Structure 1
Amino acid sequence: MTTWSWCQSAFGVVHRVEPLVVLEQLGTSLFDTALLMVVKDRCANATEDDQQRTMSDFYMVYNLIVQLMPIVPALLLAKVGDRGWRRVPIVVPLCGYLVSTVALLHVVLLRLPIQVMFAAAVLLGTSGGFCAYWPGVMTLVSLGSKAESRSKVRQVSSEQEESSPLLPHSDNGPPEMLTRKNTVNVILLFSAAILYGSSVGGAIEILGIFVIKEPLHWNVNQVGYGNAAGFVIFLTSFLGALAFRRYVSDVTLILIGMISFATGIYFMSLVTTSYMFYLSRSLTLFALIPLPTIRSLLSQQVSTPLCGITLTVLQLVLRFAALAYIPAFTKLYQRTLGWFPGFVFTVSSILAVLGMFPISVIAWRWSQPISSEETTETRHEDVED
């Protein structure tokens, strides 16, 4: 009986998506470290500045392929997921990711040209890539939980709902007004996600090659430790969200994360030693809170049948934004190598601060109840119709 209970518990754990996400993140950490060192090895004979330019050009092309190739496959997988096959947008991209890692293994063992990884990126994108994977994970978790478990929304008593207009669904008013208000909220959430996603994506794209040049000049072990420190942020952001959400709203959670990243990445521009790097990373402990929380709020603003496609559209919008920020950050880094290599991190910090404005507007809008004049006007229109 005990063995049967243990087997049931083990099956329940394996059946959940959380262990899969942990394993995927571990694999990503190892893959990113290996790819970075292989790229560095292939241009080891160049001068440091030329090496940095060659590596940044490689990652610019590679990241653009990874960002843009999944657009159509991700939409198709999202539609399949919304028809009831919720695990398909998760499993298919992971299969493509497996092919990509095998390709890197062949590049190392067989000394194939590094450009083979461009083909691997195409295969990863054809499978939907992370553009399909993360919305699939978020949708599966969101639909498998109660609304009050996904965010601070509806975690109040009925008396508080009657007296407080701070929540998006607690407003008193006709459905037309609430729909219009939710649409504006969706636009603001998309704007915040684009600004913050561009800030994080642009900085992380450069951070890997930044640490292997002077003055840090990291080796493979130090790069591995640095990547591990980066992935610890997944854990600290998760724990931070659990702790803070008991006392603050979702909007405040997002702002905490944005402030955390903006502060840490600004100090990254001044880093000259390893301990300063880790100190800067420690300031970004809650940097991963904003985007998942934004997705959570989006799931509150749309109906359940549109949840999967809405989250996928957000991911696609972030991919199109990559068309701008990946080349921009790459060229900016190359042009500032000689006088201020960390300038790109300062720009990233500014973008993160700009992302706080749409979130602040949402907080203000949710604090404003629908006016009686708007309600009366809408009711008059309904009567005339």
Structure 2
Amino acid sequence: MGPGATCPWRGPLPRLQVWTWIEPVVASNQMATSLYDAGLLLVVKASFGAGAFSNHSASPSPRGALEDQQQRAISNFYIVYNLVMGLTPLLSAYWLGWLSDHYHRKIAICVPLLGFLLSRLALLLKVLLDWPVEILYGAAALNGLCGGFSAFWSGVMALGSLGSSEGRRSVRLILIDLILGLAGFCGSMVSGHLFKQMAGHSRQGLVLTACSVSCATCALFYSLLVLKVPESMAKPSKSVDTVSGTAGTYRTLDPDQPDQQSAVGHPPAPGKAKPPKTIIALLFVGAIIYDLAVVGAVDVIPLFVLREPLSWNQVQVGYGMAAGYTIFITSFLGVLAFSRCCRDTTMIVIGMVSFGSGAILLAFVKETYMFYIARAAMLFALIPITTIRSAMSKLIKGSSYGKVFVILQLSLTLTGVVTSTVYNEIYQLTMEKFVGTCFALSSFLSFLAIIPIGIVASKQASSLRYGDIAEK
């Protein structure tokens, strides 16, 4: 009897498709990623250490000048690295999503995991063999050609959507994000300590990168040998306005459902005659603008904490990254609470306001405790993108999840690449004047993203009013 088998007198078996759980893959891969991200930053910082600049200078430079040179070198590295990481998936991610829709769902997960493993191995070899830091550009390109995070996360969201009912889909997807956040938190907390193993040795960071490779290997083998694709749990709703947590927001826009009002003799309301393409487009716009805000701030934070006024060491860098992962926990709790009384659009706006408030606080951080206060204000920052994915999954056919999710993720990735480049340039130009410029810009973009979501909410409210009139 397969994992998806059911008993006619009991429904789904109690051992509910254990092997269909995507969470172990997400946890292992994110543990590897958090270790890799911290290791990459610290290895690059060590490669562009003050000694690298003083050796090329005829006269000694003041410490502040050397620190600025190091910051610019690290920033320039990340500009190129993020460009490679963001652009190369454009060549393969969509086709992996198409293959996953037409042949096997695991294609969009296993191939990117192979790319992740190879890039982690490249960092390990860089530390072990003291290769030049430019070798990491090639590793990033290889990672991207395997689909990168765009293909991987689209595959994860597709499996999560297939294995959940529409009423509980927002909770299901945010639960996956919670697992990702918990794994990232644990990895970041230990990353600084692992990097300091073999301190003073030329191979500093070897333990950290080896652990990252081990976790990536576990994720790949689990997805290949253990993970099973769940059967779709989506069921047609019997009434137009009974989707739990959305208050009937999306049922009227489901292209797979017939016009129920027409079936009972009522003419279709003007608001419902429109196809869902407008709603999907507005959700895309809101997601992209919000992602511009998030990516810009997140990319600048590692550079911001390394220099004055914070000047963090390796352990503090790990703790700071871990603080960023706590939003996965608070966002999960927020969705659990808000989904009972709020529509999806309301939850999205709450998340955007949360991030925008935290970003403006980051712009004026002068002490470490102020940084954590700003991070605490972002407690619901993860809700918008996850909820937008959930909303889209209720508007499209299950057979199109792979393509639609990968298009969304590629759109976010491409705009993120542009944002990362622009923000790094802005940071270099303003770090001696007002270092919080990038965070202030992120706050503005976050509040700007509320506009398309507000339009979606108004369209849905109009649709519901027309539906009430037709029923009467």
* Coarse TM-score class (shorter-chain normalised): 0.7 to 0.9
**Unaligned regions of 5+ residues in structure 1, if any?**
1-7, 377-385
Structure 1 residue 183 corresponds to structure 2 residue 277: yes
Select 1:283's aligned residue among 377, 396, 403.
Answer: 377
Structure 1 residue 169 corresponds to structure 2 residue 251: yes
1:130-161 CA-to-partner distances (Å, cap 9, x unmatched) read 01011110011101111111149999994956
Select 2:144's aligned residue among 125, 143, 153.
Answer: 125
Match of 1:19 in 2: 24
Match of 1:101 in 2: 120
1:47-66 CA-to-partner distances (Å, cap 9, x unmatched) read 11111111111111111111
The more displaced of 315-324 and 164-173 is: 164-173
CA distance in 1, matches of 2:74, 2:415: 22
Partner AA of 1:314 in structure 2: L
Match of 1:222 in 2: 316
Q: Secondary structure at the match of 1:69?
A: helix
CA distance in 2, matches of 1:175, 1:93: 45
1:215 to 1:155, Cα distance in 2 relative to 1, 3 A: farther
Match of 1:142 in 2: 161
CA distance in 2, matches of 1:335, 1:128: 33
Quote the offset at 1:370 in angstroms: 8.3
The structure whose residues are more often helix, as a share, is 1
Match of 1:237 in 2: 331
Q: Secondary structure at the match of 1:170?
A: helix
Structure 1 residue 79 corresponds to structure 2 residue 98: yes
For 1:229-308, list aligned pairs within 5 A: 229-308=323-402
1:183 to 1:48, Cα distance in 2 relative to 1, 3 A: same
CA distance in 2, matches of 1:75, 1:52: 35
CA distance in 2, matches of 1:115, 1:159: 56
Quote the offset at 1:369 in angstroms: 2.6
CA-based RMSD: 2.9
1:70 to 1:210, Cα distance in 2 relative to 1, 3 A: same
Quote the offset at 1:170 in angstroms: 3.5
1:166-203 CA-to-partner distances (Å, cap 9, x unmatched) read 62323756599747341100110000011011111111
Match of 1:37 in 2: 42
Select 1:311's aligned residue among 405, 426, 451.
Answer: 405
1:218 to 1:77, Cα distance in 2 relative to 1, 3 A: same
CA distance in 2, matches of 1:275, 1:199: 23
Partner AA of 1:352 in structure 2: S
Partner AA of 2:27 in structure 1: V
Maintained 8 Å contact 1:166/1:368 = no
CA distance in 2, matches of 1:371, 1:245: 21
The more displaced of 123-132 and 300-309 is: 300-309
Quote the offset at 1:238 in angstroms: 1.7
Maintained 8 Å contact 2:349/2:384 = yes
Match of 2:67 in 1: 48
1:50 to 1:95, Cα distance in 2 relative to 1, 3 A: same
The more displaced of 210-219 and 45-54 is: 45-54
1:96-142 CA-to-partner distances (Å, cap 9, x unmatched) read 10111111111112111111110000010011000101111001110
TM-score (normalised: structure 1): 0.88
1:9 to 1:23, Cα distance in 2 relative to 1, 3 A: farther
1:160 to 1:291, Cα distance in 2 relative to 1, 3 A: closer
TM-score (normalised: structure 2): 0.72
Structure 1 residue 65 corresponds to structure 2 residue 84: yes
CA distance in 2, matches of 1:110, 1:157: 63
Quote the offset at 1:17 in angstroms: 0.3
Maintained 8 Å contact 1:202/1:329 = yes
Quote the offset at 1:205 in angstroms: 0.8
Quote the offset at 1:326 in angstroms: 1.8
Match of 1:382 in 2: none
Question: Aligned residues, how many?
Answer: 366
1:27 to 1:14, Cα distance in 2 relative to 1, 3 A: farther
